[in-house]
Structure 1
Amino acid sequence: MLTKQAWRLINNPSSLAATIMKAKYYPNSNFVEARKGGNPSFVWSSLLETKGIIQRNTQWRIGNGLSVRIWHDKWLPDAANPMVTTPPFPHLHNATVNSLMNNQGTDWDVEVVRDIFNTRDAQLILSVPIPQGNRYDKVIWNKDEKGSSP
């Protein structure tokens, strides 16, 4: 049940509970990157215990690519290893996925992807569909066909 509550903080960031938790415990980050902090409540400490479960069983679904960091987040469609294996390109260590898209954000910049990444990563990146319209990136649950809940 705690994992479900933590999942709600991630997927419903505008809910009252998520807004309060964010303001108090992780004002400049997200739940997955949040730390325990000084004088945490029992509820907050308990929710943090579920982070490992969430991190192991979730990954990003690409929308506009603005929230997903290329070398730090799980986003590639590979169940065995959804992380980029190519070493970070100079000056792009904290770059987000949208920097690999064309200027309109409607397709991958194939030339850039093939220049920067090894063959495995390039093939996986180019296989990720980019939704039409301005969709947001979304954390999905790997174990569920719809990616919607733990």
Structure 2
Amino acid sequence: MVILKDARKRIGGGWSTRVWNDCWIPNTQTRRVISPRGQSSEDMVVVELFNERANGWNSMIIRQLFLPFEQERILNIRINESKPVDCLCWDLEKDGCYSVRSAYRILAGEDGVAA
């Protein structure tokens, strides 16, 4: 469970990450969108937030759909021009790779043991 709790999707092409259901927002407590969904589809994927002509985010759509703090975090996610496959990353390490050491630190801290 620790891996799932502290992992999030790293956006590549945005095709496999669901906007409203997956953990993909960096630097937030839950890594999930908390903005109200409104009229948008529950199955909306992140690629639908891209502006393909500008090879970046469609800031107008993002400002319509998300709360201000989520707008900022989304717009700061770098989009890789090669659009690789979305993948899981581990936010507790700078390189995004899971490590037993950082998982142990989280577990020890949650259990009240000095890390």
- TM-score where L is the length of structure 1: 0.60
Q: Which residue of 1 aligns with 2:107?
A: none
Instruction: Identify unmatched segments of 5+ residues in structure 1.
Output: 1-51
- Which has the higher relative contact order, 1 or 2, with Cα contacts under 8 A spaced 6 or more apart? 2
Deviations 1:40-89 (A, max 9, x none): xxxxxxxxxxxx22211211111111111111111112142321111113
Determine the C-alpha separation between the residues in 1 that align with 2:54 and 2:48.
9
Matches within 5 A, 1:75-114: 75-104=24-53, 106-114=55-63
More helix by share: 1
SS at match of 1:124: helix
Larger Rg: 1
Would you identify which runs of 4 or more consecutive aligned residues in structure 1 move more than 3 Å? Answer: none
Q: Which residue of 1 aligns with 2:78?
A: 129
Determine the C-alpha separation between the residues in 2 that align with 1:105 and 1:72.
26
Determine the C-alpha separation between the residues in 2 that align with 1:146 and 1:91.
33
Instruction: Identify unmatched segments of 5+ residues in structure 2.
Output: 100-115
Superposed CA RMSD in Å reads: 1.7
Query: Partner amino acid for 2:10?
Result: R
- Conservation of the 8 A alpha-carbon contact between 1:106 and 1:131: no
SS at match of 1:59: strand
More strand by share: 2
Do structure 1's residue 116 and structure 2's residue 65 form an aligned pair? yes
Aligned residues: 99
Determine the C-alpha separation between the residues in 1 that align with 2:13 and 2:60.
19
Determine the C-alpha separation between the residues in 1 that align with 2:96 and 2:9.
10
Query: Partner amino acid for 2:89?
Result: I
Shift of 1:104: 4.8
Give aligned-pair identity as a percent.
25
Q: Which residue of 2 aligns with 1:66?
A: 15
Q: CA distance change for structure 1 residues 60 and 72 in 2, over 3 Å: closer, same or farther?
A: same
